[in-house]
Amino acid sequence: MSISDLLTETSHRTHFPGDLSAPDPLPEDSIQAAVNLMNDGRLFRYGEDRGSLPEAALLEEEFAAYLGRKFCVGVNSGGCALFIALRAAGVQPGDKVLTNAFTLAPVPGAIAHAGGVPVLVDITERTVIDLDDLTLKAAESDAKFLMLSYMRGHIPDMEKVMAVCSEFDIAVIEDCAHTMGAGWNGKLTGTFGGVACFSTQTFKHINSGEGGLLVTDDEDIAARAILLSGSYMLYAQHRARPALDVFDRHRFDMPNCSMRMSSLVAAVLRPQLRQLTQRNDEWRQIYAWLANDLVEVPHIRLPVRPLAEEFVPSSLQFMFEGIAEAQIKHFLQEADTHGVHVKWFGNEQPIGFTSRHDHWRYIDAVGHVPIADAVLKSLCDIRLPLGLSQADCATIARVLAEAMASAIMLDDKK
Ligand SMILES: Cc1ncc(COP(=O)(O)O)c(C=O)c1O
């Protein structure tokens, strides 16, 4: 059936009755762990005289083991993990920090918080960091840090990224907010850079409302991160930590930034971590169902996903091709009216979880990024809650196809 037949063929329009913004319920084990902890009352992660239930220390130990990294620190958000990672890795006020231009506001926010100056690196058509531009900006800026954001779960060729960074002696900090359990060529994200950061905010792969995890194999970075997170002098209660004499090198120099993870957060995360692989398999299936239907819709293009990219998609991105801005706005309105909320990065104003580098006026960012500017104008994003069935995905695709048909007819009527 042609796209214009879609609207004439049926007298009624398809409506998606679900709620794409609804979070998934927490597993029973998480609820029980939270209740146990509340009965105990000690929600603060550190005990003073008597030990608390060591939920946060156990989560750190389990997460470090999952990734195969030596050290892990729990903090109160992904953005805090990014800030602490920059500070612990040695960023000083005024230092340049390379970062890909397609990312979310907490990334430039963390760089600004650490006093760094972001140097924006362009992206490719598949929304990942552009290696030629990375090489150019690394040489031009002399930056010694790269905050690599796997925005919306898209992963660049990591062997090449690491080769460029090693050539220019650049320390890599990975922002894995959207890639918990994802990998490149058999190696998990979060194991490439000197430090890596994860978020456990509600719309991420595991949900504690707010929360962040930082991992590293470097004992000095780990000790600094634990001290920065606000461990008072109780850091011995951590389990995935370096030896105590490493803290002696740093404990008088690191400010207490009070960004600790609470025990309650850790308690609800631990059971979810045990389910991560199964959850990620479900997300892959949902993505495949929806992507298969969406490739049939004209004027919509999905970013290429290379075989080496082992992604764990909790959202799906697509770009518009060959339609005008008025039609894009009409499409979005139509989709929304019929139950499918699509986020668009092309908006003049930042809305919800979309924002572009030109919206971050507080950063004195340097870097010309023409491809990012063009790609973001047409880039859209749909959240994929777990529990979507194949029939739900078909309905969503149908709503989008009808919205596109309506947008095209808008042009025909001119
Ligand atoms: C790409 C990216 N990085 C970092 C973060 C920071 O996470 P948080 O919201 O936990 O601070 C987010 C959050 O949505 C994100 O999308």
Which CATH architecture best describes the domain 5-25+276-413?
Answer: Alpha-Beta Complex (3.90)
User: Hey, where are the domains in the chain?
Assistant: 5-25+276-413, 28-274
Rounded to an integer, the average pLDDT of 362-366 is 70
- CA 158, CA 193: separation in Å to the nearest integer? 10
- CA 100, CA 113: separation in Å to the nearest integer? 18
Tell me, what's the pLDDT at 47? 86
Tell me, what's the pLDDT at 360? 84
Q: How confident is the model at residue 361 (pLDDT cuts 50, 70, 90)?
A: confident
**Which residues lie across from 97 on neighbouring strands?**
118, 145
* 354 Cα to the center of ligand 1, angstroms: 11
Residues having CB closer than 6 A to ligand 1 are: 77-79, 103-104, 106-107, 149, 151, 175, 177-178, 199, 201, 212
Q: How confident is the model at residue 364 (pLDDT cuts 50, 70, 90)?
A: low
Q: Is the pLDDT of residue 301 over 60?
A: yes
Tell me, what's the pLDDT at 352? 73
**pLDDT tens digits, 184-221:** 999 999 999 999 999 999 999 999 999 999 999 999 99
Q: Is the pLDDT of residue 52 over 80?
A: no
Compute CA distances 148 → 157, 181, 260, 275, whole Å: 12, 17, 24, 26
Atom nearest to 212 CA in ligand 1: 10
Instruction: Please tell me whether residue 60 adopts helix, strand or coil conformation.
Output: helix
Would you say the C-alpha torsion 68, 72, 77, 82 has a positive or negative sign?
Answer: negative
Tell me, what's the pLDDT at 411? 61
* 81 Cα to the center of ligand 1, angstroms: 10
Tell me, what's the pLDDT at 8? 61
Q: Are 98 and 156 in contact (CB under 8 A)?
A: no
Q: How confident is the model at residue 112 (pLDDT cuts 50, 70, 90)?
A: very high
Compute CA distances 403 → 3, 112, 324, 384, whole Å: 10, 40, 14, 19
- CA 231, CA 46: separation in Å to the nearest integer? 8
Q: Which fold has domain 28-274?
A: Aspartate Aminotransferase; domain 2 (3.40.640)
Q: Is the pLDDT of residue 49 over 70?
A: no
Q: Is the pLDDT of residue 350 over 80?
A: no
Atom nearest to 81 CA in ligand 1: 11
Minimum mean pLDDT range among 165-169, 228-232, 273-277, 345-349: 345-349
Would you say the C-alpha torsion 225, 228, 230, 232 has a positive or negative sign?
Answer: positive
**pLDDT tens digits, 309-347:** 999 999 999 999 999 999 999 999 999 999 999 999 998
**pLDDT tens digits, 128-165:** 999 999 999 999 999 999 999 999 999 999 999 999 99
- CA 62, CA 190: separation in Å to the nearest integer? 14
* 203 Cα to the center of ligand 1, angstroms: 9
Q: Are 186 and 162 in contact (CB under 8 A)?
A: no
* 11 Cα to the center of ligand 1, angstroms: 42
Q: Are 91 and 114 in contact (CB under 8 A)?
A: yes
Atom nearest to 203 CA in ligand 1: 14
Nearest to 36 by CA among 14, 48, 19, 53: 53
What pTM did the predictor assign? 0.95
Burial of 275 (0-12, 13-18, 19+ CB in 10 A): middle
Q: Whose CA is nearest to atom 16 of ligand 1?
A: 104
* 197 Cα to the center of ligand 1, angstroms: 10
